[in-house]
Homo-oligomer: A and B are copies of this chain.
Amino acid sequence: MPANDAYVAVIFTSVRTEHHQGEYAIWASRMDELVREQPGYIEHASARDPLTRFGITVAYFADDASAAAWKQLAEHVEAQRLGREMFYSEYSVRVATVYRSYEFMAPT
């Protein structure tokens, strides 16, 4: 479990099916909005390759309890159900404690 001064990364990798594009766009946009409102939310980012339909989303939370609460939020639970039924052929979720980080930004 995370140390007190650490934060938590939820790493979501997925392969989109070819179906339900309109419905997926609506749900993805709604989850993108909803996650920002969660207690303990820090930030999140997503990327998907349109050719392979493989994507990665990483969301960061202040602690494990916040990440777990997001997983159990009713509207998100429904999104997960639709994900398994329609949106994704496979996915994985890994929850991890960030213990080191560094950044680069090019001089402008």
Contacts and interface: CB of A to CB of B under 8 A. Distances in A.
Contacts of A45: 13, 54, 56
Contact of A106 (B13, B57, B88, B105): B88
Interface residues of A, number: 38
B91 A101 contact: no
Contact of A103 (B48, B83, B91): B91
Contacts of A30: none
Contacts of A105: 89-90
A22 interface: no
Interface of A: 1-2, 9, 11, 13, 17, 45-50, 54-58, 83-84, 88-106
